[in-house]
Chain A
Amino acid sequence: MKLYCLSGHPTLPCNVLKFKSTTIMLDCGLDTTSVLNFLPLPLVHSPRLSKLPSWVSKDGTINLEKELKECAGRVFVDSQPEFCLPERELLDLSTIDVILISNYHCMMALPYITEHTGFTGTVYATEPTLQIGRLLMEELVNFMERVPKAQSATCWKNKEIQRMLPGPLKDAVDVWTWKRSYSMQEVNSALSKVQLVGYSQKVELFGAVQVSPLSSGYSLGSSNWIIQSHHEKVAYVSGSSLLTTHPQPMDQSSLKNSDVLILTGLTQMPTANPDGMLGEFCSNLAMTIRAGGNVLVPCYSSGVIYDLLECLYQFIESANLGTTPFYFISPVANSSLEFSQIFAEWLCHNKQSKVYLPEPPFPHAELIQTNKLKHYPSIHGDFSSEFRQPCVVFTGHPSLRFGDVVHFMELWGKSSLNTIIFTEPDFSYLDALAPYQPLAMKCVYCPIDTRLNFHQVSKLLKEVQPLHVVCPEQYTQPPLTQSHRSDLMLELQPPPMPYRRCSVLNLPFRRRYERVYILPELANSLVPSEIKPGVSMATVSAVLHSKDNKHTLQSVPKPPPAPPSKKRKRVMEEPPVVLAPKPLLSGAVPLEAFLVTLQKAEDTLIQLEEDGTHIVCDNNEPLRTTLRDLVLRFLQKL
């Protein structure tokens, strides 16, 4: 059993597991941190961005005037932003049988894999994962396509040139494989390969392996996966949460007793408490509004935003923000808010019971009804006429490189009255802000990452007791910036097996048994005898029939009755029909006792040994059979 690791990002994993005869891709994460190296895509012409100076190397030898721009000491690529794809050279991706998706954040690379590698398999995901994943992809495509950029910079990727660039560009990996966003057509085609599954549904893959998604508690429809055969079990844990937010709680008990547990998607903010961050978010928001400033919240259009809105729903009145407009701007804002209300089955108990009343499970329905929250597909159109300040704007993309957020950065960045509050943990806020420096607006960083922290995960692992743990190498040492915090890493016995991008791990896993079905009539013919207390044994002669990876023992077919022989005299020569095999013999023949039973005989040699008896005689069948039966009397027949 092997694990091929195609992504180095611990929370946006992409691994391939070879197990029995199947090749299973676990998640299809797209590393979007690469876009931080690019200039933002403004929705309306930005004089500031267009006037940025070109970057020239110190000795003046490299001048990529058109491709590289400098802003506040950092160098950016002036091109359509590109993403770092999962590794595609490590194994032939067309051999992948199925792709298992754990949550909607971990499927963003799907079109690259399903559309351009010869993939012919099936993708399995829950319904919320598919629907919200579709929205996120649609949003991404929309962000990119509505501000097309003619330029596609490639010269800087030249190895010789990249070597000379300042960091972090210099250290970016595999820049040649970076790709621009996919098209909506590719998204639709990729998602048409998705087959929906429900929690605890058992899906058979070619009769060899059974996979089953389990609730992981992180987002709507998010799942961990169990991949098992009759005798082996692999648990894939990705993006799980034990906090009580909107999704159904995590199913921990089904992860028990796995041979290997692949652990990805732990919190990216191990020292930030989500509840504390939520409090800080609210108080900073209120403070800014009271001071007459605007609040900008760069966020994904599904996920934590539901919790933020719920928190604000309770907070608005008490903080006297009843008249402040809240705007949610995204091409999929409406869909995201609507979809969140129809997945009752996938929500926590509290929200589920609301549907029985019947009331919408999320209170943002009421915020919309009372006009406190308004949503728009973009800053163009209706929004421009409705827009009132001071206000709170939720919009994407959290990288600040594309989407409507770019416009608000340009609009509000110059005033210290305004505040930008970062809640998404995927991007370093300093890197995100770099192309907007110098910046007057206040920055508040309260990342909310509800995924498991190291304390929770070690408790979980004690509980579910996997034999081996595989995890990204980042989890086996403390974070670089906090090297003294030995509590911010996984310490296990036996130590976890670390992987990095392009690793190929041989999982410590010996397959020893395979299930074989035995047909009732054959089972009926077996006569087990108890050899030791509690252990019975019977010898089996059967035909092993294997079809669709299912193995069945069937009785040996009886030979058809011989056709009546034409030559009567040769009847004697019909070879014997062996109906039952001879029993296994065990034990030893005691010499003395054996001798007593012998009488005068012809010239016969009998060799008696501990583990064998050899009778050498002339062709005297009666004598031989007599001796045979004598010997057999002393032996145990199994």
Chain B
Amino acid sequence: MPEIKVTPLGAGQDVGRSCILVSIGGKNIMLDCGMHMGYNDDRRFPDFSYITQNGRLTEFLDCVIISHFHLDHCGALPFMSEMVGYDGPIYMTHPTKAICPILLEDFRKITVDKKGETNFFTSQMIKDCMKKVVPLNLHQTVQVDDELEIKAYYAGHVLGAAMVQIKVGSESVVYTGDYNMTPDRHLGAAWIDKCRPDILISESTYATTIRDSKRCRERDFLKKVHESIERGGKVLIPVFALGRAQELCILLETFWERMNLKAPIYFSTGLTEKANHYYKLFITWTNQKIRKTFVQRNMFEFKHIKAFDRSYADNPGPMVVFATPGMLHAGQSLQIFKKWAGNEKNMVIMPGYCVQGTIGHKILNGQRKLEMEGRSTVEYMSFSAHADAKGIMQLIRMAEPRNMLLVHGEAVKMEFLKGKIEQEFSIDCHMPANGETATVTTNPSVPSLKLVSSEQALKELGLNEHQLRFTCRVQLQDPHSDPDTLNRIYTHLKSVLKGYTIQHLPDGTVMVESIVIKVSSSAEDPNTKVLLLSWSYQDEDLGSFLSTLLKKGLPSGLC
């Protein structure tokens, strides 16, 4: 039986460095190629030596697909393609292709220029890597080669995020990347058709969370920011330059407008302007409402939000600052955090998920014993656009997979969700750890055959058909007229042979399926009837049965 094998090199019972290998129908596909924010050593990248100990990956992989631009999904890409070595196609959507190199360059700068690490990929490598990228359009069926085809679906989550369907013959796998089943202020909800994949590989970041309504969370967020501003505090919101940041900017912008607030809102990175520009150019990837009104009012042109300068951090009075990166593990957000953490009037709002090992993760878990004495309020508000448990179940209902596989989540939470899925959908649910392989057997594909009638087959093969027929004489004692005898045979067979086609034809024959029965009287004795049964070899079993049956005579009770 054919098998599909799935091996996570990263994101197996973990969040970070997503990288999943899929073997399907003789093809090997790498899904995502991310980095882990929580490590600064080799564990930062997926372990590509799993694929091959030495040499390049090109001959082992048919293609690489990147689901979206977050670094935990694409951060290892230049390392993989340029330093380990891969020259095959890399697929991603247009927005991902546009934004991914900027984030990679950002990441490289922090790592090399600020932390002084060596043996890291260079700017040129990012450029060379991006040359191998083939852009994907939504719903377009891309033929990677004659057998392997891929198709992208809208995933929400961030601009340009996609789920992908991978298909070889009749076997298929869907990989969700990160997705969001509820539309937010700037993105739409993920959608997929009833494609019934053999395996649905889903993220499970919020496997156990059922989030309250988005409106409540938004109100909560605005209330907290507002209160803090009112009492003269500073609000730090660590974000990634693209994605959640835009949603929160839209939220604050409209709030400021409505409440006529004056406190400044800053965006800490030079990327803002540029980032917003991407949103404008890729407006078709945002939600219905923004797309509909963009000609009149482009939601990504902000009036209240201005560029941040490092010196502003020491300005007196309230302010709101969006700073990167989102997990407080380096860069400007960390600097500002250190500066502001000591004042209890100040507040940090963590709008997204924080990977283990980052400062963001530590402070969320109440570890106040960091190198600085933190007294400011820490608020965690889940604005992260991942599907929650309800959303994951909803997607399963949409796609109707035969098997389920969870990645990108914590083992304990996965275990819980796995139980729920298996119970509700009665399908197998796998959750391999990194380096472990989950195997699913599928229906073998039947090679292409030509189905023709037997006459046609013989004709095409240049063979003649040989008709083998039997005619059997059966003597029967039955003192009735010939037609009556025939009638009695008909009635008898009717009662014995249930479910067969039995016909009494006007030309004086009885047909059982295609077996012909005729009656004539013996010349000497009119009470002795001679039955002629005639059948072809194809009806041998039935013919033989009938002749034996009729030889025994007709039951007397027949009318």
Write the residues of chain A forming the contact surface with B, with a CB cutoff of 8 angstroms.
127, 197-202, 212, 334-335, 338-339, 341-345, 352, 355-356, 358, 360-361, 513, 516-518, 520, 523, 531-532, 535, 537, 539-540, 553, 573, 575-576, 578, 581-582, 584-589, 610-619, 621, 624-625, 628, 631-632, 635-636, 638
Is B551 an interface residue, CB under 8 A from the partner? yes
- A sample of 21 cross-chain residue pairs with beta-carbon separation below 8 angstroms, ordered by A number, consists of A201-B151, A212-B141, A338-B295, A342-B284, A345-B284, A516-B451, A518-B446, A520-B446, A573-B496, A585-B537, A586-B458, A588-B464, A611-B466, A613-B468, A614-B467, A615-B471, A619-B473, A619-B547, A621-B544, A636-B463, A638-B457
Shortest CB–CB separation between residue A140 and chain B, in angstroms? 18
Tell me if A584 and B472 are in contact (CB < 8 A): no
Is B294 an interface residue, CB under 8 A from the partner? yes
Q: A584 with B465: in contact, given A344-B281, A518-B446 (CB under 8 Å)?
A: yes
In the assembled complex, the Cα of A575 lies from the Cα of B500 at a distance in Å of 10
Q: A358 with B468: in contact, given A582-B538, A619-B473 (CB under 8 Å)?
A: no
Please give me the residue from chain A that is nearest to B472 by CB atom: A619
Is B278 an interface residue, CB under 8 A from the partner? yes
Tell me if B281 and A341 are in contact (CB < 8 A): yes
Residues of chain A contacted by B457 (CB below 8 angstroms) = 537, 584, 638
Is B196 an interface residue, CB under 8 A from the partner? no
Please give me the residue from chain A that is nearest to B551 by CB atom: A619
* Partner-contacting stretch, out of B131-139, B249-257, B331-339, B516-524: B131-139
Please give me the residue from chain B that is nearest to A620 by CB atom: B472
In the assembled complex, the Cα of A343 lies from the Cα of B284 at a distance in Å of 8
Tell me if A585 and B472 are in contact (CB < 8 A): no
Q: Other CB < 8 Å A-B pairs besides A358-B98, A611-B465, 17 of them?
A: A201-B141, A342-B281, A343-B284, A345-B137, A352-B135, A358-B274, A523-B446, A576-B544, A582-B540, A584-B458, A587-B466, A613-B466, A615-B469, A617-B472, A618-B475, A621-B544, A635-B466
Please give me the residue from chain A that is nearest to B469 by CB atom: A614
Is B549 an interface residue, CB under 8 A from the partner? yes
In the assembled complex, the Cα of A517 lies from the Cα of B445 at a distance in Å of 10
**Which secondary structure characterizes the binding site on chain B?**
mixed
In the assembled complex, the Cα of A355 lies from the Cα of B279 at a distance in Å of 11
Residues of chain B contacted by A614 (CB below 8 angstroms) = 467, 469-471
Tell me if B94 and A352 are in contact (CB < 8 A): yes
In the assembled complex, the Cα of A345 lies from the Cα of B458 at a distance in Å of 54
Residues of chain B contacted by A573 (CB below 8 angstroms) = 496, 549
Residues of chain B contacted by A612 (CB below 8 angstroms) = 466-469
- Residue with the highest number of chain B CB atoms closer than 10 Å, among A520, A537, A540: A537
Number of interface residues of B (CB under 8 A): 59
Please give me the residue from chain A that is nearest to B279 by CB atom: A358
Shortest CB–CB separation between residue B94 and chain A, in angstroms? 5
Those of B509-559 within 8 Å (CB) of chain A: 537-538, 540-542, 544-545, 547-549, 551
In the assembled complex, the Cα of A517 lies from the Cα of B497 at a distance in Å of 33
Q: A582 with B545: in contact, given A127-B284, A358-B98 (CB under 8 Å)?
A: no
Q: A345 with B135: in contact, given A613-B466, A619-B475, A621-B548 (CB under 8 Å)?
A: yes
Cβ-defined partner of B140 (8 Å) among A201, A513, A520: A201
Tell me if B98 and A200 are in contact (CB < 8 A): no
In the assembled complex, the Cα of A531 lies from the Cα of B458 at a distance in Å of 10
Residues of chain B contacted by A517 (CB below 8 angstroms) = 446
Tell me if A535 and B461 are in contact (CB < 8 A): yes
Shortest CB–CB separation between residue A623 and chain B, in angstroms? 10
Q: A635 with B468: in contact, given A345-B94, A584-B458, A619-B551 (CB under 8 Å)?
A: yes
In the assembled complex, the Cα of A619 lies from the Cα of B496 at a distance in Å of 20
Cβ-defined partner of B467 (8 Å) among A352, A532, A611, A616: A611
Residues of chain A contacted by B463 (CB below 8 angstroms) = 531, 586-587, 636, 638
Residues of chain A contacted by B466 (CB below 8 angstroms) = 585-589, 611-613, 635
Tell me if B139 and A198 are in contact (CB < 8 A): yes
B464-501: CB near A (< 8 Å → 1, else 0) gives 11111111111100000000000000000000110010
Please give me the residue from chain B that is nearest to A618 by CB atom: B473
Shortest CB–CB separation between residue A252 and chain B, in angstroms? 15
Please give me the residue from chain A that is nearest to B101 by CB atom: A356
In the assembled complex, the Cα of A345 lies from the Cα of B92 at a distance in Å of 12
Please give me the residue from chain A that is nearest to B496 by CB atom: A573
Q: A338 with B541: in contact, given A127-B284, A614-B469 (CB under 8 Å)?
A: no
Is B277 an interface residue, CB under 8 A from the partner? yes
Tell me if A355 and B281 are in contact (CB < 8 A): yes
Please give me the residue from chain A that is nearest to B542 by CB atom: A576
Tell me if A201 and B139 are in contact (CB < 8 A): yes
Tell me if A338 and B281 are in contact (CB < 8 A): no
In the assembled complex, the Cα of A496 lies from the Cα of B294 at a distance in Å of 47
Shortest CB–CB separation between residue A227 and chain B, in angstroms? 16
Residues of chain B contacted by A513 (CB below 8 angstroms) = 450
Q: A344 with B471: in contact, given A201-B140, A520-B446, A540-B451 (CB under 8 Å)?
A: no
Tell me if B541 and A198 are in contact (CB < 8 A): no
Residues of chain B contacted by A212 (CB below 8 angstroms) = 141
Cβ-defined partner of B137 (8 Å) among A198, A355, A523, A576: A198
Those of B78-97 within 8 Å (CB) of chain A: 94, 97
Residues of chain B contacted by A518 (CB below 8 angstroms) = 446, 449
Please give me the residue from chain A that is nearest to B550 by CB atom: A619
Is B260 an interface residue, CB under 8 A from the partner? no
Tell me if A358 and B547 are in contact (CB < 8 A): no
In the assembled complex, the Cα of A212 lies from the Cα of B141 at a distance in Å of 10
Shortest CB–CB separation between residue A229 and chain B, in angstroms? 15
Residues of chain B contacted by A520 (CB below 8 angstroms) = 443-444, 446
